Amino acid sequence: MRNKIISKATELFLNFGFKSVTMDDIANELGISKKTIYVHFSNKTKLVEATTFHLFDVICDGIDGICDTATNPIEELYSIKLYVMTHLKNEKTSPQFQLKKYYPQIHQRLKNKQFEKMHKSVLESLIEGVRSGVFRDTIDTDFISRMYFTGMTGIKDNMFFPHDKYQMEYLMESYLEYHLRAIVTDKGMTILNNFINKSITKTNA
């Protein structure tokens, strides 16, 4: 039952936001009493914490699978972007923003874990990209991996990129292209242009 509660709560939080979803809403969706939820989670904060880190673990497992099978670092980054967007429902309720506003301690812990994961995986990707000749061998891989994390978290800040003006899909797509154009070789640019053209074709289809 604990896992069912986490699964349903995650779905509701992503679709409607952490603030608006109540314990009653979750209980009604599951067809159980609210008391049953409290058997597993003493309060809503504990449930938010459990769902947040459950989703983080699920996404990390998926990213690891992509990293193991991608044919090159550029494909890897585009596949990760698509995977994350799918799992976060295109972030239509701005879960990161709500988490920061209403559950700041959980948000900070999540951000720390996100940095550890992203820094490690992007650093490995950059090193492989240099080795395979798609990224320039003059880049500072540690610096670039940190900048990538800073940019990816920065575009989610509503103050700089208002949600009524920018769709998250557009922001992630644009930032990823911006990031890659700064570090690719001619070989890498050919691969990147192929992905951009595919993306344009899908958008216009």
Please write the tens of the pLDDT for every residue from 123-153: 999 999 999 999 999 999 999 999 999 999 8
Higher-scoring residue by pLDDT: 90, 39: 39
Question: According to the model, what pLDDT value does residue 82 have?
Answer: 84
Percent of the chain at pLDDT above 70? 93
Backbone φ/ψ region at 185: left (φ over 0), alpha (ψ -120 to 50), beta:
beta
Is pLDDT of 200 > 80?
Answer: no
Question: According to the model, what pLDDT value does residue 100 have?
Answer: 87
**Whether the Cβ atoms of residue 184 and residue 135 lie closer than 8 Å to each other:** yes
Six-digit token pair at 132? 């395979």
Question: According to the model, what pLDDT value does residue 94 have?
Answer: 67
Going by C-beta distance under 8 Å and a sequence separation of 6 or more, which residues neighbour residue 73? Answer: 125, 126, 128, 129, 132, 134, 135
Question: According to the model, what pLDDT value does residue 195 have?
Answer: 82
5 inside domain:
no
181 inside domain:
yes
Count of domains observed in the chain? 1
105 inside domain:
yes
Six-digit token pair at 115? 């940095």
Domain holding 94, by residue range, is: 45-204
* CATH code: domain of residue 143: 1.10.357.10
Map tokens 């429902």 to a residue.
89
Mean pLDDT score across all residues of the chain: 90
Higher-scoring residue by pLDDT: 133, 84: 133
Question: According to the model, what pLDDT value does residue 196 have?
Answer: 82
Model confidence at 93, pLDDT cuts 50, 70, 90, reads: low
**Whether the Cβ atoms of residue 13 and residue 51 lie closer than 8 Å to each other:** yes
Six-digit token pair at 84? 């994350």
